[in-house]
Every structure is written in structure tokens, then in C-alpha cells.
Amino acid sequence: MFDRKSYTLYKFHKQLNQSFQDKRELLECALPALRNLFKLDRAYFFNWQQEEARLSLRMMCTKDYCMDKQEDISVVNEPPFLKQLLQEGVTETTDLSYPAVYALLKWQRPSMELRGGEVHTFMQERLGMLRLERFRKSRVFTPQELDLIKALAQEISHNLRNTEIDQAKNQRLNVSTALNDLSTIFASSLRLNDGLELILKGVQKYFRFDRVRLYLTDPYGRRIKSILGVDVSGEVVHENVSRLGERESALLKEVFESSVTYRSSRSVFYIPLKVQRNKVGFLAFDNLLSRRAIGYLDFISLQQFASQMALSIDNARLFERVQELSNYDELTKLPVRRYFNEKFSEEIYRCKRFDLTLSLMIMDIDFFKQINDTYGHQIGDWALQEVSKVVRSCLRQTDVPCRFGGDEMVIMLPRANGEEAKVIAQRLQQRITAIVLPTRFTEGKEVHLSISQGISSFPQDGSTAEELLEKADKALYVVKQNGRGHYAVYRDVAGQTELFDIK
């Protein structure tokens, strides 16, 4: 005997037996099939949030098209037909002037939560509802049709579950791929700032947030040191930290002290970046413009990535700190000779290419060996430190000083000609002459420091680093032979260098 119900269910099952990208794609297949099968004028799909007492209309299908809808209906005082729907799975409504049927959809979808620092997955029950309408009053739904609708709704529920599982697997795979790519990007970056910019662009690209911002703290985690942000344009912006006020300080405290890890009602989400107890900073992201919901999977995935990101930032900071220390002399805090030579070569190249000026100054402390021999190396070190403090405070931001060796210091003065270099030399001379050795080491005598300085200029005195150093050194020799405690530009004393037979 021919069983129409079983045959219809089989055909419907075959029609839905395919892989759908998401729930919307499944419904675009199922609703038209229902409409054709029961000669419907309209079919609707609702999400049913029981805990929030809300029906959310998401799709409507007519004869000509299916379209997305966005309408929420409050059902705080649960209507009788909803109670009946939960009990029987299908029910007719008398609220409309034409025949309409509600069918219950009940399925499970994968969900996850963070417990004890570990991600736990579980199946969460979801509810939905179909509303099937016929506009002609005479075309009421028969008991056989109601029974078939209930069975077809169960088939749709089964496919919703499978689709949600497949979608979750694909999402996790995509997220894992994205995070792996981000890790590779960061690891391949040579500089911290470059790596951070690539990370922010990657997070914005893969997770499609409207805006992502990275707040970095100082080494002690007490205040926000810098902020980098990227939005849908993909452009990284360095925000002005000097404008930060109490709000940012309170935000820093909230992010690291709050026990709440995820709240879907919040418009902006924050993830702390920590290495053990060290606060590195925190990541902020939102969809304030698009209003697109940020899923728990995105949040947890980024939270798991945060520990790796924090460790990478901390390691990069440490590397930069070690590199910085290797470029600076520990005693004077001035750049070392190797670092200076690199900068000097770059600046000479720039001067040649753009026809710029440059001056070079060599200076040393007068009678420094005598200071060491008379008062001890401890006082000699103190004198070097005091002189270097003056050097650092008197120079322009673009000038590059260096401890060249012993008490000898070299200063590169970009965009400065010989006359301008004299002004800087005079200022250094006056400030350093005012330094007095500690009287407790000099038996009460007032011993002032003094310096001798030789200056050369590009291109008048030389066009290479070697020539400029040689000419500045010759000018310094002339100063020393003429009583020390002065400065001289090479071209002003070039004739005297020949008298002293400097080679």
C-alpha cells in the first residue's frame, strides 16, 4: 500500500540531504520546498529565545522570493498557542483571518565556555518556529497535513543540527588557520612595531571586527604607554598617549581585575595580555558600526591566542631592550662606536644625495689621565658620566653623540655647518667648565673640568667618514697644542696642522 507521508518525507529528506554553509542557506532550500508542497502563500522562520521571551523573525518566503527579515516580537506573557506548540509540535492559530499553522523546530548546536582556563564544548538546545500561511479562507489545513508538517519540521530540525555542527567545525578550522597565520606573521617580523601592526591587521581581517585596538603598558604594567588601532580601512593608527586620562587608567584596572571574561551585551570586548603576573597590555575590539554580534567562538579563540601574543610581545620587548643596551655604553649611556659608525655612514649618504650639510665634532676631557692618576679611576668614571650628561642635554634631537674610546667622544651634527657647530661647541664648553670634582676627593681644592674640541664639516673638509674624522682629529690636535680648553674648525686651523706635521 502506497504511504504518501513516508514518500513525501523521503523526497524532502533527499532535497535537504546536502551540505549547507549556514542556517540561512538551509532555510532558503527548506521554505520554498514547504511552500510548493502545501501550496502556501507565505512561509516564515522565527528564532525563539525562551529565556528572553522573544520571537525573532529572520526569514520570509513567498511565491517569488525568500528574503531576510529583522523583527523582534515580545512574548513575555506567553500566548496559549506557544504552550500548545511546545506540547504538540504543531498548532493552528485563530489570530489571523486566514488559515495559518505554527510548527516547532527544536535542535542542538555546539557551544563552548571557558572554565578554569580551558575551553569546554557542549550542545546547547535551540528553538525555532515556522509559520505557514494560506490566504484563502477555504483552504484550511487538514489533520493529515498537520501531521505531515510536524514530521517535516522534525526533519528540518535534524538538518539544522547537522548544519550548525558543520558550521562550527568550519569556523574552528578557519580560526585555527587564521591564528596560525597570525603567529607566523608575528614570528617573521624583525621589529616589534612592525609585528604588532601586522597582527592588528590580521585580527581585523580574519575576524572582521569594525575596530581593533592594542593597548600596551609600561614595563611595570602601571600605565598605558602606547595605543595602536586599526579599523575596516585597514590603516594602522598610533594614538596620542599624552591625552590619556583617568578613564584609561580605570580601564586598565577594570580589564585586569574584572572576573567577567565575556559578556555578550557589552559593545566593546577586552582581552588582557599577561605573561605570568606581568601585564603586557590588552586587546580591545568591537562592531559598533556594523552592529554585528561578536560570537563566543571569536572571543575564546582570541583569548587563547592572547597568551601567545603576550609572550611574543614580551620577548620582542626583551630583544629590543638587549639590542638597545648593546648599542649604548653602560657608563656614559652614550651610543657605542659601532652604532655611531652605522648612523654616520647613513647620514653622509643622505648629505650626498640631497646636498645637505653635516659637521663632526671630536672632544676629550683635558688631562683625563692625570685625573685618574691623582684622584682614582672612580673619580675618572664620575667625570665621564657628568660630561656625558651635559652632552646629552645640550644637543639637538637629531644630533648623535658617541663614546669613541676612553675619554674621547664624537658628536655628529646633521644639517649644521662649521659656524653652527661652533655655537654648540661653545655651549658644551661653558656647561662642562662649570663641573667641579667632588671636594672630598680633592682635599678641598676646586678642580674644574674642561674639554678640547675639533670640528670638521661636510663637504668643505671631507666627503667621507674617514676624511671627516681625520680632519676633526687634526683640529683637536691643534687645540691641544695651543693650551687646550678650546675648540677649532679644521678649515680655520688647516695651516697649523701642517706646522705640527700631522699625518
CA angle centred on 485, ends 479 and 486, rounded to 5°: 55
Same fold, 4-170 and 337-499: no
Q: Residue 299 carries which DSSP code?
A: H
The answer to whether residue 116 scores a pLDDT higher than 70 is: no
pLDDT interval class at 413 (50, 70, 90): very high
The model's confidence at residue 502, banded by pLDDT at 50, 70 and 90, is: very low
Contact 70, 90 (CB under 8 A): no
Q: Which of 114-118, 163-167, 200-204 is the most confident on average?
A: 163-167
Three-class SS of 318-373: HHHHHHHHHCECCCCCCECHHHHHHHHHHHHHHHHHHCCCEEEEEEEECCHHHHHH
Strand 358-365 with 408-414, pairing: antiparallel
Mean pLDDT of the chain: 84
CATH code for the part of the protein at 189-326: 3.30.450.40
CATH of 337-499, one of 3.40.190.10, 3.30.70.270, 3.40.50.150, 3.30.565.10: 3.30.70.270
Q: What is the pLDDT of residue 266?
A: 59
> Exposed, middle or buried: residue 222 (CB in 10 Å: 0-12, 13-18, 19+)?
exposed
Cα-flanking dihedrals φ and ψ of residue 242, to 5°? -65, -15
Nearest-angstrom CA–CA distance, 303 and 313: 15
Task: Let me know how many helices (H) and strands (E) the chain has, helices first.
Answer: 13, 16
Percent of the chain scored above 70 by pLDDT? 88
Span of 24-33, 159-168, 188-197, 363-372 with lowest mean pLDDT: 188-197
* Residue appearing with cell numbers 673638509: 461
Which residue did the predictor score with more confidence, 304 or 89? 89
Q: For residue 78, what pLDDT is reported?
A: 79
Confidence of residue 118 (pLDDT cuts 50, 70, 90): low
pLDDT of amino acid 115: 60
pLDDT of res. 302: 78
130-143 pLDDT, tens per residue? 999 999 999 999 99
* Distance of alpha carbon 167 from alpha carbon 111, whole angstroms: 12
Confidence tier at 366 by pLDDT (50, 70, 90):
very high
Let me know: does 307 contact 281? Beta carbons within 8 Å. no
Question: Parallel, antiparallel, or unpaired for β 211-217 and 278-286?
Answer: antiparallel
Q: Kindly state the average pLDDT of the residues 260-273.
A: 68
Could you give the CA distance from residue 172 to residue 166 in angstroms, rounded to a whole number? Answer: 10
Q: Can you read off the three cell numbers belonging to residue 293?
A: 554580534
Taking the domains of the chain in order of start, what are their residue ranges? 4-170, 189-326, 337-499
Q: How many CA atoms lie within 13 A of 287 on its CB side?
A: 14
Q: pLDDT-based confidence at 365, cuts 50/70/90?
A: very high
pLDDT-based confidence at residue 2 (cuts at 50, 70, 90): very low
Query: 36-65, pLDDT tens digit by residue?
Result: 999 999 999 999 988 888 999 999 999 878
Q: Given the C-alpha cell 675648540, which residue does it identify?
A: 487
264 — pLDDT class (breaks 50, 70, 90): very low
* 232: confidence class by pLDDT, cuts 50, 70, 90: confident
Q: Whose CA is closest to 203, among 188, 213, 190, 215?
A: 213
C-alpha cell at 449: 673640568
- Euclidean distance between CA atoms 461 and 471, whole angstroms: 7
- Which CATH fold would you assign to the domain 4-170? Beta-Lactamase (3.30.450)
Mean pLDDT, rounded, for 410-433: 93
What distance in Å separates the CA atoms of residue 23 and residue 29, rounded to the nearest whole number?
10
Please tell me the predicted confidence (pLDDT) of residue 121: 75
Give the three cell numbers for residue 421: 657647530
Look at the pTM and tell me if it is higher than 0.75. Answer: no
Q: Is 3 helix (H, G, I), strand (E, B) or coil?
A: coil
Residue 320, pLDDT score: 65
One-letter identity of residue 291: R
The span from the CA of 213 to the CA of 273, in Å, is 13
